[in-house]
Structure 1
Amino acid sequence: MSTPQRPMPQRLGRYAVRRRIGAGAFATVWLAYDEQLDSPVAVKVLADNWSEDEHIRRRFVEEGRYLRKVDSPHVVAVYDAGELDDGRPYLVMSYADQGTLADRLEVDGLTTAQALGVVRQVGAGLQALHDRDVVHRDVKPANVLFRGITSREGEPQLRAMVGDLGLGRALDMSSRLTMVAGTPSYVAPEQARGEAPDARADQYSLATLAYLLLTGRAPYQHPSLIEAGHPGPLPEVSTPERQFPPQVEGVLRRGLEPDREGRYDTVSDFVGDLESALSPLVEGAPETSAWIPIDPELTQPGPRPTSAPGGGPEPELPDPAPVPVGRPRRLRQVAIAGAACAVLAGGIAGGYAAQRAGDVPDPTFTDESGMLSVSVPSAWAAVSDRGWMPPNAEGQAEFAALSVGEGSGWATDGTSQGVFVAVLPGDEVPEQSPQHPECDTAGSPVEDLVDGFATTTVVYAGCPGGVTVERVAQVAGNRLLWVQIRSKDHRTATKVLASVTTSGL
């Protein structure tokens, strides 16, 4: 189900909006014009449906702070930041007028000289981040952006820039709080296993990128972070079609060493050795060619605005369409993975887009034990506050549970809205949440601390009635809290999820 698009905003702060460049799970990026500096810019705005999630909001703002720490032509620059009238933060950034590396690879491969040029520039950007004690944690083709420049000889060239630090963390924070995230085929094994990443995790991802650009194929095709945590033997770099000196193979194997202690100390060391190993193949070749843009209408900023848009209220930003951000992890079977489908068959969908803040307060319900409570839209009036018996709790007393939905059968009809909150036994957050094959996309599991508790959250989009949210949290030494929400929109799901409280556990 697609989300209806509201009109494009005329302005974002002082910036005149031209068109939408793209949308992801957490933000929308707009091409805009800085009339004071007479220059096109990219304005990244937090998605409306995540504006009330303080964790996501904090990560969004941190991205701007991390980028501002770095002064490098190979890191996307942040020029300005602010808040819209509705409170959503935005970042004003470099406009990458020539798209991303992922765009380029969909059209054609790179020569060896071009591949080395991209790796060299991306490596320079990563080293600049590391020098400021920032680890990127999500290096991949989609996060390598290109900007057209003119060389000293007057030739058009592309400059590669590292962008999208949505997963970035200061190195000193990573030792205290680890969020398991990243793209499985590019993430370092220790990061996929939930260990605190350091700069060598980015080096591993860059080595994966180098392997892809040089050979035309990724070294691994991990379907999930579980497989990424334990990669198998590295495939041979050389093939009958593409032959490389043994030194190239040695550099890539060291950069892709599963044990980070065996990798290079820095990204610069890796890039330097790769340059030396490839020198017989690239001597005399241009570093980069002037590639033709994939779609000139998308990449060109257009003429300068002749005047500022007229007055009147600023139209609301459209909600970004959900996009796939990775598959749910195939993880070991645990109680809730099997119990979920029995208790709440199918995916979850629903929401209350019509109800706005400031209207009738959301009613709050509490289970009969008084341990669980949740606030929901007023249309969710069917309540079951009795306990339940998880499959792995045979012989024990019932555990607290609370179900609130649009109807008594909301959990099984596949389209009604509702929320199920329950306690179950367990001494660690399970590695698998209930799967929802009826949904179009599955967000990557996000592991973090919420109010001091270890949690895993997965968001499914494109479900029969909207979105599904699964969260499991460790709320006591031997107790877990399971929350499953079916909602028509992200905003409702986020609001309901934030309202869940426990006591006496």
Structure 2
Amino acid sequence: MSIPVYFGRYAVRRRIGAGAFATVWLAFDEHLDSPVAVKVLAENWSEDGHVRRRFLDEGRLLRKVESPHVVTVYDAGELDDGRPYLVMTYADQGTLADRLEVAGLTTDQALHVTDQVGAGLQALHERAILHRDVKPANVLFRTVDGRVRAMVADLGLGKALDVSSRLTMIAGTPSYVAPEQARGESLDARADQYSLAALAYLLLGGRPAYEHTTLGAASAPGPLAPLSTPDRPFPPEVEAVVARGLAVDREDRWPTVAEFVEALAHALGADAGAVPDPWLPADPELTQPGARPSLLRAEGTSLPPPAAPRRRRRVLLGAAVGLVALAGGALAGYAASPSSVEWAEVTDDSGSLGVSVPAPWRRATATDGWRPPETDRDFPALSVGTTAQWAAADGHGVFVGLLPGSDLPEQVPQHPECGDPREPVTNSSAHGEAVTVVYPDCPGGITVERVVQVTDHQLLWVQVRSADAATANRVLDGVQTYGFR
């Protein structure tokens, strides 16, 4: 089944990520001319009343809070199949977990993130809401007036305090969850404070306070290792503030999140509200969600937006890459000589696919496959580009992936930012019957989509974005499949 082109009035661009209960898509609000994130309940949970209520509760809880450090819910709706969705703030700079996979933070940066996350939690607590799942993956970054701002997200486990005092579901992430939460006891705001202190320990020390693998282990944590290391020493005052925030007995913790953050800043000899210099830089490649989509909804069968190839180590964001495809013959009429740069061969981990690319493109490479939308298994794929977001901004790169399909699609992905495409070309290639669409006037060069029928039940999808047609031609000529003949 094809993925909808629209969720209500929101034009779908690409998948941002997926979890156990929901998938998040980057979409475009055509009425307000703005990118948004749309969180859709997973199809396999649509008939579960408890999960559905929990999903909708997240939207209701977030609507109660107005804070620049809490993700905003703008709208809610329901798909034709009955699944609910929430329209939320689009975090264009990814998550704290993404940032930490690239590099750690300085002490000033760590304090600033802790301060902003604390401000978001304090705003929740002032409206009698617990988060209950504070961790790096639930801290999002968004560009506001050229600066990166941290926001608290994902209240899938959040509860109103009066409800939490009577009934608490045992859940949370073991390395960050408070002991009383892991034991299933009634909770108050000090549970979130414990999780924030665990986050601060990670950001300051460069390692987690605990590495629990189960909630049972989190319910009775052992002695806390010193925060300081020879590489990152801290004065005793800082050790004491963080240790108090991580006290096993909540009566020994700071009374509020705000007091914990203020004490930490004082111990570090800093102002919690001050912005360190340099602060986390905004990646210009990530601030471009794409041009405004066409107001004309696609008709007929179309290929859905792709999911991202999985990465062993994300470069900055695990966001979705687009798909581009080229046909050598379709571009021959306006190709110049390829530039005399070094070229490199890239092969996917399964040995099924290969491609030749300019060596400078290999700044962001993923070769361990992808899971096409609406499928339940992985397929061979690779992505190579000048940045992890090469297909969403003005970068250059190539995506090659297999996906199930018994017929060529009537429509390939659209690129309204590129203007009008050339007429589709259907022909035979070395790989099989193919359809190719060329977009010659894209930001930064050209984009070409190509889909090839490589077997009776399998398609090869290729996307190339390059500065010139000559490079695109050579990349297409370098696409290889192995084991299909």
TM-score (norm 1): 0.58
Q: Provide the C-alpha distance between the structure 1 equivalents of 2:12 and 2:266, rounded to a whole number of angstroms.
A: 45
Distance 1:227 1:86, change over 3 A: same
2:304 maps to 1:309: no
- The answer to whether the Cα contact below 8 Å between 1:64 and 1:91 also exists between their aligned partners in 2 is yes
Q: Which amino acid aligns with 1:44?
A: K
Q: Provide the C-alpha distance between the structure 2 equivalents of 1:98 and 1:139, rounded to a whole number of angstroms.
A: 18
**1:184-237 deviation digits (Å, cap 9, x = unpaired):** 000000000111221100000000000000010111000111000000111111
Q: Which residue of 2 aligns with 1:267?
A: 257
Which residue of the other structure, out of 228, 239, 242, is the alignment partner of 1:252?
242
- The answer to whether the Cα contact below 8 Å between 2:112 and 2:272 also exists between their aligned partners in 1 is no
Q: Which residue of 1 aligns with 2:37?
A: 42
Q: Provide the C-alpha distance between the structure 2 equivalents of 1:118 and 1:110, rounded to a whole number of angstroms.
A: 9
Q: Provide the C-alpha distance between the structure 2 equivalents of 1:255 and 1:114, rounded to a whole number of angstroms.
A: 19
Superposition deviation, residue 82 in structure 1: 0.8
SS of the equivalent of 2:86 reads strand
Q: Provide the C-alpha distance between the structure 1 equivalents of 2:13 and 2:91, rounded to a whole number of angstroms.
A: 15
Structure 1 ranges of 4+ moved more than 3 A:
280-285, 310-322
Q: Which residue of 1 aligns with 2:469?
A: none
Superposition deviation, residue 300 in structure 1: 3.1
Q: Which residue of 1 aligns with 2:110?
A: 115
- The answer to whether the Cα contact below 8 Å between 1:28 and 1:46 also exists between their aligned partners in 2 is yes
2:167 maps to 1:180: no
Q: Which residue of 2 aligns with 1:342?
A: none
Superposition deviation, residue 308 in structure 1: 3.3
**1:138-162 deviation digits (Å, cap 9, x = unpaired):** 0000000000122xxxxx3210000
Q: How does 1:133-148 map to 2 (within 5 A)?
A: 133-148=128-143
Q: Which amino acid aligns with 1:98?
A: Q
- The answer to whether the Cα contact below 8 Å between 2:92 and 2:142 also exists between their aligned partners in 1 is yes
- The answer to whether the Cα contact below 8 Å between 1:23 and 1:320 also exists between their aligned partners in 2 is no
**1:297-325 deviation digits (Å, cap 9, x = unpaired):** 6x631111132323569999999999xxx
SS of the equivalent of 1:105 reads helix
2:285 maps to 1:296: yes
Q: How does 1:86-125 map to 2 (within 5 A)?
A: 86-125=81-120
Q: Which amino acid aligns with 2:27?
A: A
SS of the equivalent of 1:222 reads coil
**1:317-336 deviation digits (Å, cap 9, x = unpaired):** 999999xxxxxxxxxxxxxx
Q: Which residue of 2 aligns with 1:205?
A: 195
- The answer to whether the Cα contact below 8 Å between 1:42 and 1:92 also exists between their aligned partners in 2 is yes
Q: Provide the C-alpha distance between the structure 2 equivalents of 1:317 and 1:132, rounded to a whole number of angstroms.
A: 38
2:208 maps to 1:218: yes
2:189 maps to 1:194: no
SS of the equivalent of 2:122 reads helix
Return 5+ residue gaps in structure 1 as ranges.
1-5, 151-155, 323-460, 463-505
2:12 maps to 1:17: yes
2:22 maps to 1:32: no
Return 5+ residue gaps in structure 2 as ranges.
311-375, 378-485
- The answer to whether the Cα contact below 8 Å between 1:38 and 1:304 also exists between their aligned partners in 2 is yes
Which residue of the other structure, out of 67, 78, 101, is the alignment partner of 1:72?
67
Q: Provide the C-alpha distance between the structure 1 equivalents of 2:244 and 2:121, rounded to a whole number of angstroms.
A: 18
Q: Provide the C-alpha distance between the structure 2 equivalents of 1:282 and 1:319, rounded to a whole number of angstroms.
A: 38
SS of the equivalent of 2:26 reads strand
- The answer to whether the Cα contact below 8 Å between 1:23 and 1:321 also exists between their aligned partners in 2 is no
Q: Provide the C-alpha distance between the structure 1 equivalents of 2:69 and 2:266, rounded to a whole number of angstroms.
A: 21
Distance 1:301 1:103, change over 3 A: same
**1:113-142 deviation digits (Å, cap 9, x = unpaired):** 111110000000000000000000000000
Q: Provide the C-alpha distance between the structure 1 equivalents of 2:271 and 2:128, rounded to a whole number of angstroms.
A: 34
Distance 1:138 1:124, change over 3 A: same
Distance 1:316 1:62, change over 3 A: farther
Aligned pairs, number = 314
- The answer to whether the Cα contact below 8 Å between 1:9 and 1:315 also exists between their aligned partners in 2 is no
Distance 1:144 1:282, change over 3 A: closer
Q: Provide the C-alpha distance between the structure 1 equivalents of 2:124 and 2:273, rounded to a whole number of angstroms.
A: 29
SS of the equivalent of 2:268 reads helix
Which residue of the other structure, out of 121, 124, 128, is the alignment partner of 1:129?
124
SS of the equivalent of 1:148 reads strand
**1:255-301 deviation digits (Å, cap 9, x = unpaired):** 000000111111001011011111269999726524253x936x631
Q: Which amino acid aligns with 2:108?
A: A
Q: Provide the C-alpha distance between the structure 2 equivalents of 1:268 and 1:257, rounded to a whole number of angstroms.
A: 17
Superposition deviation, residue 48 in structure 1: 0.6
Distance 1:108 1:320, change over 3 A: closer
Q: Which amino acid aligns with 2:152?
A: V
Q: Provide the C-alpha distance between the structure 2 equivalents of 1:161 and 1:211, rounded to a whole number of angstroms.
A: 19
TM-score (norm 2): 0.61
Q: Provide the C-alpha distance between the structure 2 equivalents of 1:165 and 1:17, rounded to a whole number of angstroms.
A: 23
Q: Which residue of 1 aligns with 2:382?
A: none
**1:232-260 deviation digits (Å, cap 9, x = unpaired):** 11111111111111111110011000000
